[in-house]
């Protein structure tokens, strides 16, 4: 494997630790990255809590969720979220799935989650909500196969975030840093909105403000600065 390839998988491990340290994920949740040389494959940890993921835990799958590296590790049951989204969105290279407690209320109440702070503009306007019940009836709410995953991906459309009723959310990005930091600031934005709703009427970001702030969010300066800080925080607090 090349140095760049090694760096990609190391970054995937760091992303797991950042998401855990920022309380975006707990014992559950996961992040994937598309194979840089084979767009029909992706990498994701075996079934472990993100906080303790190591490089040796990383597995390789095709987009149908089949292990292709001969690993005997137990895979995540919801790897189909990643395969289906990567299948439907060729420009996306990383997917985060989590159960953030700040985000879940907006998927079950009819109160829309909207951009409210400049750093949270990345969540976008008109965030879709996927309700597995609508097509599949009573289930355990988990995305257990590609049929579930493709229905989720269809509802995601071209959005960055999709809420999953009674379950959590999925967040996408063109690279690991983008998906990771979008998931972090999604949680922050949801928390700020929940607090603001207790005080009175909210003035949300306009579509134009959302666009400009999102452009800044994805700039190299912003990405590198935040990533460096959150990665260092993992080291300091470990």
How confident is the prediction along the chain (238 residues), in pLDDT tens digits per residue?
345 889 999 999 999 999 999 999 999 999 999 999 999 999 999 999 999 999 999 999 999 999 999 999 999 999 999 999 999 999 999 999 999 999 999 999 999 999 999 999 999 999 999 999 999 999 999 999 999 999 999 999 999 999 999 999 999 999 999 999 999 999 999 999 999 999 999 999 999 999 999 999 999 999 999 999 999 999 887 6
User: What distance separates the 2 farthest-apart alpha carbons in the chain?
Assistant: 56
Asked if 78 is an active-site residue, the reply is yes
CA 97 – CA 78 distance, rounded (Å): 9
Q: What pLDDT was estimated at residue 2?
A: 46
Q: Which CATH code is given to the segment(s) 3-237?
A: 3.40.225.10
Non-local CB neighbours of 202 within 8 Å, separated by 6+ positions: 116, 193, 196
Q: Answer for the pair 101, 187: CB distance below 8 angstroms, yes or no.
A: no
Can you give the pLDDT at residue 236? 80
pTM attached to this predicted model: 0.96
Pairing of strands 161-164, 129-130: parallel
Q: Specify the pLDDT at position 73.
A: 97
The pLDDT value recorded for residue 5 is 86
pLDDT the model gives residue 51? 98
Catalytic residue among 78, 91, 209, 237: 78
Q: What is the three-class DSSP state of 67?
A: strand
- State residue 1's pLDDT score: 38
Using alpha carbons, select from 210, 194, 199, 206 the residue that is nearest to residue 113.
Answer: 194
Q: Where are the domains of the chain?
A: 3-237
């Amino acid at each position: 494997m090349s140095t760049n390839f090694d760096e990609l998988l190391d970054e995937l491990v760091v992303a797991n630790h950042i998401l855990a340290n920022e309380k975006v994920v707990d014992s559950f949740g996961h992040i994937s990255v598309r194979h840089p040389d084979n767009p029909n494959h992706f990498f994701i940890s075996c079934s472990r809590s993100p906080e303790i993921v190591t490089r040796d835990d990383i597995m390789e799958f095709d987009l149908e969720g089949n292990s292709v590296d001969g690993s005997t590790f137990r895979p995540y049951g919801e790897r189909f979220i990643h395969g289906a989204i990567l299948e439907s969105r060729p420009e996306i290279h990383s997917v985060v799935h989590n159960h953030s407690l700040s985000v879940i209320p907006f998927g079950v109440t009819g109160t829309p989650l909207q951009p409210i702070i400049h750093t949270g503009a990345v969540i976008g306007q008109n965030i879709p909500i996927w309700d597995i019940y609508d097509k599949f009836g009573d289930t355990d709410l988990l995305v257990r196969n590609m049929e579930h995953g493709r229905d989720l991906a269809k509802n995601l459309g071209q959005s960055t975030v999709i809420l999953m009723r009674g379950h959590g959310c999925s967040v996408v990005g063109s690279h690991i840093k983008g998906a990771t930091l979008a998931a972090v600031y999604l949680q922050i934005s949801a928390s700020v909105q929940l607090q603001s709703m207790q005080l009175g009427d909210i003035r949300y970001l306009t579509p134009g403000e959302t666009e400009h702030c999102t452009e800044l969010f994805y700039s190299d300066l912003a990405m590198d600065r935040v990533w460096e800080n959150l990665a260092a925080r993992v080291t300091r607090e470990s």
